[in-house]
Chains A and B, each alone.
Chain A
Amino acid sequence: MKNGMIVFDSVVHMTDHRAEFRVHDDGKILTQRLRRMHARSPKKAVPINDSFTDGPPDIAWANEVLWDKSDTDFAMAQTIPLFALWRDGVSPARTNHELAQSNPDRFLFCGGVDPLYQGLRGALDEMTRQVEEMGAVSIKFYQAQRPGHAWRADDRKLAYPLYEKAMELGIKLVQFHKGFPLAHAQIEDLHPGDLQLAAYDFPDLKFGVHHLGGVHFDDMIDVAERFPNVYSILSPLFNTYFQQPRRVYEMFGKALYYIGDKRLCYGTDAFVHPNVQLYIDVLSTIQIPEDLQEGYGYPELTDEGRARILGLNFAEALGVELSVEGDKRTWRRA
């Protein structure tokens, strides 16, 4: 808890960049890009887990990072089904499930499938396995893995059966990596525009967009503003606060203005930066500067909005209830 607010980290990963599992050289590009990106962090203020590309995080260490060294109450361990570059994806379902099982009262497991690499039938079967046998409460999609290998979220033959299966399995929220190309994936294949028809055709399903749409930020804002079942996962916005505070104010202010505080969700993409408390501290104190309120009309962040973004919105999107009593944390499907 942070200042009486429940902290629910919407996305942590058990990433595994090891070469023996890599199936395409583009994986090296992704690993190197991540290393370069994180090398830009001010290391003194934001310590980096230097070994984050060497192998999956140690499970005991991951628990310590979240529960002992930060105010995090709950976290979702998310699969990255990037089968084009790594045999089991760069954050395999198996290892994320292991992490979730290490503290099932506080971790929630998010599965992940891909209808191009597994085939639609394989993806549907794997979704069923991940939900029924592994307890997944959400599913993550990566639509663009390599140049020429991409699928659209509004593809009636390929994508809609995934949503129908998700709803049949009781899933309330499906999630999409958007806007941040991995290795040589094409930027246009990660545009959020394809969520419009999907969100319109599946009004009872919620669609989570990660990374604020990345380079498609403005278009993502427009989509989320108009479709009430589209949620924006903020990670890694606050991770960049220490390098680019002004940019964070501008993006966060714009998201608050157009989307509102009821569909924005806190997340860290841990465990690259193991000090997640930094981001909790940022979000629990950040305010939109008055010159942005004056010049752009961006609203103040209220205490209620802060609590919603730190944890309540994501729980609501997933359809789960969170309970904090003393030192005990539990969650259950609503």
Chain B
Amino acid sequence: MTESTDDRTWQEAEQALSSIRRRLGGHGGDVTIADVQDGTVHVTFHAACEHCPAQALTYVSAVRETLLQVPGVKEVRAPQVRDSRFALDRIASMLELTPFNRPVQTP
């Protein structure tokens, strides 16, 4: 994927994230995009979200799921979320959200 494609993805991801950020702000938290590389969006949680026990739930159910709807986004990574793959898979499964390690969609 070219740099300009990632730039365009970044812009659209920012727009998609704006509604989530308002909701997180209501709890004293925030999330921003740190990088976009080859369709993978890397996000950073801030303030109250940094050490929130519900961080993994926010990541899987709100941030990741929203960003995966943006054209060109293949995956969303959040290095601060240290939950095991079992926990992340369980959240995605129980909420009927996009599973992790799903087959990569080719355009």
* Residues of chain A whose beta carbon lies under 8 Å from any beta carbon of chain B: 225-226, 256-258, 260, 288, 290, 293-294, 297-300
Contacts and interface: CB of A to CB of B under 8 A. Distances in A.
B21 to A, nearest CB: 22
Interface in B66-92: 82-87
A297 B86 contact: yes
Contacts of B56: 297
Contacts of B51: 225-226
Given A225-B51, A226-B51, A257 B86 contact: no
A294 B83 contact: no
Given A225-B51, A226-B51, A293 B84 contact: yes
A288 B82 CA distance: 13
Contacts of B87: 293-294, 297
24 contacts: A225-B51, A256-B82, A257-B82, A257-B83, A258-B82, A260-B82, A293-B84, A293-B85, A293-B86, A293-B87, A294-B84, A294-B86, A294-B87, A297-B56, A297-B83, A297-B84, A297-B86, A297-B87, A298-B84, A299-B82, A299-B83, A299-B84, A300-B84, A300-B85
Contacts of B83: 257, 297, 299
A290 B86 contact: yes
B31 to A, nearest CB: 18
Nearest to A253: B84
Nearest to A260: B82
Interface in B12-34: none
A297 to B, nearest CB: 3
Contacts of A299: 82-84
A273 to B, nearest CB: 31
Contacts of A260: 82
B47 to A, nearest CB: 12
A296 B19 CA distance: 30
B30 to A, nearest CB: 16
B51 to A, nearest CB: 5
A294 B85 CA distance: 8
A225 B52 CA distance: 10
Contacts of B86: 290, 293-294, 297
Given A293-B86, A297-B56, 17 more contacts: A225-B51, A226-B51, A256-B82, A257-B82, A257-B83, A258-B82, A260-B82, A290-B86, A293-B84, A293-B87, A294-B86, A294-B87, A297-B83, A297-B84, A299-B83, A299-B84, A300-B85
Q: In the complex, which of the residues B56, B83, B84, B85 has the most CB atoms of chain A within 10 Å of its own CB atom? A: B84
A257 B83 CA distance: 7
A298 B81 CA distance: 11
A28 B44 CA distance: 52
A255 B74 CA distance: 31
B94 to A, nearest CB: 13
Contacts of A298: 84
A299 B51 CA distance: 16
Nearest to B83: A297
A251 B81 CA distance: 18
Nearest to B88: A297
